[in-house]
Amino acid sequence: MAGIYIHIPFCKKACYYCDFHFSTNWKVKTELLAAIEQELELQRNYLNGESVETVYFGGGTPSILTGEEINAILDKINTLHHVAASAEITLEANPDDLDAAKIKELRQTAVNRFSIGIQSFFDEDLQWMNRAHNASEAKSSIMRAQDAGFENITCDLIYGYPLLTNKKWKENIQTLIDLQIPHISSYSMTVEPQTALASFIRKNKQQPMNEEQSAEQFQYLIEELSKANFLHYEISNFGKEGWLSKHNSNYWFGKKYLGIGPSAHSFNGETRQWNIANNYKYIDSLSQKKIPFEEELLSPVQRLNEYVMTALRTMWGIDLKKIENNYGKEFLEEIMHTAEKYIDKQWVTNNEDKLILSKEGKLYADLIASELFIT
Ligand code: SF4
């Protein structure tokens, strides 16, 4: 079973913190959608005939597409691949796009899961981020989607930025719990170098992020969502039983995925490849039936380190037997030697041959993973 990711690189506004590939110029939208279909054709054998279990429209802002445009892409995928009847088909959507007409249109597609970029339920915070939606749209978009029968909804929230008091953070979380959202992804605000936010901080127009505040808000998030019966199944992801994201889980379990569109990444079990992050060059190259990508053959050590990094972030942890069987005893011993320090600190537990982060260890996931890397 494999997944397909479609990158739609257009947004209405540039959020100040964002370093994804997108453009606010939509002039070439039609050409880009044609190029996406062309790339799907050219990559028809990439998944080696494996059945497709998940399709994920990400971006950018895929909810700017019409139902007809989404259907055209899904039809193309269906002609080229066997898509499982129970496939999870996710559309990332921004609240300002989810008006009644759009939701009605989306009911006519096979999309069965929304990932809504809420980020906050406070106007001042949304303006500070330069989001295209406001607080009232954040709430009404969710309710409209639910009223139309979409149950499988995940919402994004951001924490750890100067404007977000603990009081507001509690309200943001509580609002999603009250709305009975079954899945939440939540990220600490990170300052990526090429963003407007980084530039504001460099020019002293903006305070830097505060790590202590971020850690406190993360802990609060974990506690509240655990009380509300969410499984904390990956550092940034929480879902109720039966509502975990299949698409993301497949990434973490190392399954194959095909990424289509500018900047999209693909993985076939051995190599990783990524498309050019430029809409015009992408369209131009596909018009000549060439996929503009770079590729990296992953060495066993790289694959092991990727496994360590992704598995440690999940509730299933690092499977020590798997490391021994797939990579050998020597690497296993090296990892265990480093892990002892964190087991002693009680940041990591070793249960039934699985290394799993403790509550405190979750605050240091990246540090611990990088220390466990084989060099
Ligand atoms: S809507 Fe999403 S992809 Fe677009 S600029 Fe904002 S954060 Fe980035």
Domain of 97, CATH number, reads: 3.20.20.70
Task: Give the pLDDT mean for 5-26.
Answer: 98
Give distance in angstroms: CA of 47 to centre of ligand 1: 29
CATH of residue 323: 1.10.10
Please indicate, yes or no, whether residues 91 and 157 belong to a single structural domain of this protein: yes
Mean pLDDT for all residues in the chain: 97
Average pLDDT value for residue range 128-138: 98
Q: What is the mean pLDDT of residues 330-347?
A: 96
* Last residue in a domain, options 252, 286, 312: 252
Residue 352 in this model has a pLDDT that exceeds 90: no
Closest CA to 52 of 91, 80, 92: 80
Q: Is 145 in the pocket of ligand 1 (CB under 6 A)?
A: no
Question: For residue 108, what are its two tokens?
Answer: 């006519």
Distant-in-sequence, close-in-space partners of 252: CB < 8 Å, separation ≥ 6: 234, 310, 311, 313, 314
- Under the banding of pLDDT at 50, 70 and 90, the label for residue 31 is very high
Domain match, 326 and 241 both: no
22 Cβ below 6 A of ligand 1 = yes
Same domain, 137 and 230: yes
Q: Tell whether ligand 1 has an atom less than 6 A from the beta carbon of residue 257.
A: no
Together in a domain, 51 and 179: yes
- CA–CA separation, 36 and 79 (whole Å): 14
Cα end-to-end distance, the chain, whole Å? 31
Domain match, 41 and 135 both: yes
Q: Is residue 291 part of a domain?
A: no
Of the candidates 252, 276, 292, which is a domain's last residue?
Answer: 252
Letter string b/e over residues 102-122, b meaning 16 or more CB atoms within 10 A of that residue's CB: bbebbeebebbbbbbbbbbbb
Look up the domain containing 22 and give its range: 2-252
**Average pLDDT rounded to a whole number, residues 22-50:** 97
Rounded to an integer, what distance in angstroms lies between the CA atom of residue 240 and that of residue 151?
Answer: 12
**294 within domain boundaries:** no
Whether residue 235 sits in one domain with residue 123 = yes
**Strand order from edge to edge, sheet including 271-275:** 231-234, 237-239, 183-188, 153-159, 113-119, 83-93, 52-59, 2-8, 257-260, 265-267, 271-275, 293-297
Note whether 11 and 112 are same-domain residues.
Answer: yes
Q: What percent of the chain has pLDDT over 90?
A: 97
What is the best residue among 7, 16, 18 to mutate for testing ligand 1's pocket, by most ligand atoms within 8 Å of CB? 18
- The answer to the question of residue 202 being in a domain is yes
Question: In this predicted structure, what is the pLDDT of residue 82?
Answer: 97
pLDDT score recorded for residue 351: 87
Would 267 be classed as within a structural domain?
Answer: no
Q: Are residues 117 and 218 in the same domain?
A: yes
- Distance, in Å, from the CA atom of 261 to the CA atom of 243, rounded to the nearest integer, reads 27
207 and 71 in a single domain? The answer is yes
Tell me, yes or no, whether 270 lies in a domain.
Answer: no
Looking at residue 356, its pLDDT comes to: 97
**Do 232 and 87 lie in a common domain?**
yes
Residue after which a domain boundary falls, among 231, 252, 273: 252
Structural domains of the chain, count: 2
Q: In testing the pocket of ligand 1, which one of 10, 20, 263 has its CB within 8 Å of the most ligand atoms?
A: 20
Pairing of strands 354-357, 318-319: antiparallel
Q: 195 CA to middle of ligand 1, Å? A: 12
Q: Is 261 contained in some domain?
A: no
Do 151 and 18 sit in the same domain of this protein?
yes
Q: How far is CA 275 from CA 17, 193, 252, 302, in A?
A: 22, 21, 21, 20
pLDDT digits 0-9 by tens, 214-272:
999 999 999 999 999 999 999 999 999 999 999 999 999 889 999 999 999 999 989 99
Q: Which residue's CA is the nearest one to ligand 1's atom 8?
A: 18
Residue of minimum CA distance from atom 3 in ligand 1: 60
What's the 65 CA to ligand 1 centre distance in angstroms?
15
**% of the chain at pLDDT higher than 70:** 100
User: What atom in ligand 1 is closest to the CA of residue 129?
Assistant: 6
| Position with higher pLDDT, 89 vs 352 | 89
Q: Is 307 inside a domain boundary? A: yes
Question: Which run of H or E residues covers position 348?
Answer: strand 348-351
Same domain, 11 and 82: yes
What does the pLDDT read at residue 153?
Answer: 98
20 lines ligand 1 (CB under 6 A): yes
Mean pLDDT of 299-307: 94
Tell me if 243 CB under 6 Å of ligand 1: no
332 has pLDDT over 90: yes
Residue 259 inside a domain? The answer is no
DSSP 93-153: E-GGG--HHHHHHHHTSS--EEEEEEE-S-HHHHHHHT-SS-HHHHHHHHHHHHHTT---E
Residue 28: CB within 6 Å of ligand 1?
no
User: H/E element holding 202?
Assistant: helix 196-202
Residue 18 Cβ contacting ligand 1 at under 6 Å: yes
> Look-up: residue for tokens 């943001």?
172
99, with CB counted inside 10 A (0-12, 13-18, 19+), is: middle
